[in-house]
A and B are shown apart, each in its own frame.
Chain A
Amino acid sequence: MSKIFRSSSPSKAYLVLGFVLALAFLLWPARGLRSDSFASYFLKERRGASPEVSGGAQQPQGDQRPKIEEATPVEGLPAVVLDAGHGGQDPGAHSRDGVVERDLVFELEERVRAELASTNKYRVVLTRSGDANPTFDERAAAANAARPIAFLSFHAGNLGKRIPRLMVYTYWSSSSRTPSAESDPLAKPTPRTGGPSEIFVPWMEVHERHLERSRQLADALQSELGKIPGAITGKPVEAPVRALRSVDAPAAAIEIGSVAPDVNSRSLTNPVLQQQIATAVVRALEAFVGGGP
């Protein structure tokens, strides 16, 4: 290239430069197409940017790539995975007064992490670092690699008009994995024999063997969260929580609310309330671990 510029006439150099610029101009839209689907590239353009609602907890500016962070890398201790829902361009639920689920649950998760770390009994693994937004499967994969004793997913959402309301969920979907489970021999449960079926558990069904312990974890959480003054709680609910589906450990989701467009949720960012929730979560984990098999 330098030879062209040195030895050739300036017109040739301009031609090459023009060609390079034209090529860059032509390829510019294709970058978006490769990293995304053709349709979503144009749909994104049509819909505009996702609605950003400022406010809520201060979001730390971190690495934008999905990254799994081991908060307290202490070998030998049992792992607890904390999963703050949403992140990055996915704000989740938002309230009338600008509280955003992504930021609210991140702050809550940080408080629980600090509280857990202070016990020196657990290795805390976070599925979300900074403002990254790993996929559900990336979060589950990271959690499963840590072989945790418990997985806690934090969410905020529409829980009616009363605040603060704290709900605990375990995974259960009344769905079947095939259109006609009873007529599909592949859908029937395979007896556990210690053979290959014991080793290769379908990714979508991996959590099913932990349902009983998950219910115990949820009961412990509900019991402790119910002690928070003024908080409205209810019995743990079985729900099709996507975040829990592929977690190979006892798991529960905690939803704090209400965070909805017709509700003012600023009181949920109160540090006192958040600390009470964090303390309750750690106490519940202690009770769960102590009452395990």
Chain B
Amino acid sequence: MSRLAKIAALAVFVIVAAGFFYLRALARRIFVETPVRVEQEARARLSEVVLQSQTGSRQAVRLYFPSYGEGTLAAEVRQMAWPAEDSDRIREILLALIEGSRQGHERPVSPSTNIRGVFLTPDGTAYVDFSSEVLADFAPGIESESLAVYSIVDSLAANIPAVKRVKILVQGEEVDTLDGHADLAGYFVPDLSRTGKAN
């Protein structure tokens, strides 16, 4: 092999390797680091809302937490900061559910979950966008996922009359299931059959 050919082959190899690592770094910046930055921004916005809401009035709010052994939702009434805006109220309720029960009931979503966004449309559809941590430490199953979904939906609808239905998103996207069992394709309307308040 001539000296020229060796140099040419080496050059091709170096260029290709450099190109590969550049592409890899570029893709990381787009797909991995951006979501982290978005999460940090979402967390900062959330802190602002919490600080604002703590200056407002307080109200007794009925929250529903899962009882996995029983297949039901247990009600827990809590005095909470109650902002003027419905979308801020939705955030407050979701934060309370993420914080968990103070009476020993189970948790519907992971405590490391962030609320990436909340949006209430004029027709009463509440879009709630959770971070992917919503599934962290979650024990999947038909019952557990159904209870988690209705814990959110029933808690929102029971306290905010403007909420008629709820659409659950994860990382800003529609997902097929919560964790392999519960169908999240639709817009959930409240179903109090699990809370013992139906009929």
Query: Chain B: how many interface residues by the 8 Å CB criterion?
Result: 56
Q: Is chain A's interface secondary structure helix, strand, loop, or mixed overall?
A: mixed
Q: Are B189 and A255 in contact (CB under 8 A)?
A: no
B-side contacts of A183, CB under 8 Å: 123
Q: A280 in the interface, Cβ–Cβ < 8 Å?
A: no
A-side contacts of B125, CB under 8 Å: 179-180
Q: Are B139 and A93 in contact (CB under 8 A)?
A: yes
Q: B140 in the interface, Cβ–Cβ < 8 Å?
A: yes
Q: Which of B39-47, B54-62, B142-150 contacts A (4 or more CB under 8 A)?
A: B142-150
Q: Which of B12-20, B80-88, B92-100, B110-118 contacts A (4 or more CB under 8 A)?
A: B12-20
A-side contacts of B153, CB under 8 Å: 174
Residue of B nearest to A204 (CB): B185
Q: Are A240 and B149 in contact (CB under 8 A)?
A: yes
Q: A43 in the interface, Cβ–Cβ < 8 Å?
A: yes
Q: A38 in the interface, Cβ–Cβ < 8 Å?
A: yes
In the complex, how many angstroms separate the beta carbon of B171 from the nearest chain A beta carbon?
10
Q: Are A42 and B28 in contact (CB under 8 A)?
A: yes
Q: Mark A241-262, 1 if CB is under 8 A from B, else 0.
A: 1110100000001010111111
Q: Are B31 and A43 in contact (CB under 8 A)?
A: yes
B-side contacts of A155, CB under 8 Å: 141-142, 181
Q: Which residues from chain B sit less than 8 Å from chain A, CB to CB?
A: 1-2, 4-6, 8-9, 12-13, 16-17, 19-20, 23-24, 27-28, 31-32, 67-71, 121, 123-125, 137, 139-146, 149, 153, 165, 167, 176-177, 180-191, 193
Known: A92-B140, A176-B186, A181-B187. 13 other contacts (CB 8 A): A14-B1, A15-B8, A19-B12, A39-B31, A157-B139, A173-B186, A175-B183, A176-B165, A179-B121, A179-B167, A242-B176, A260-B68, A260-B141
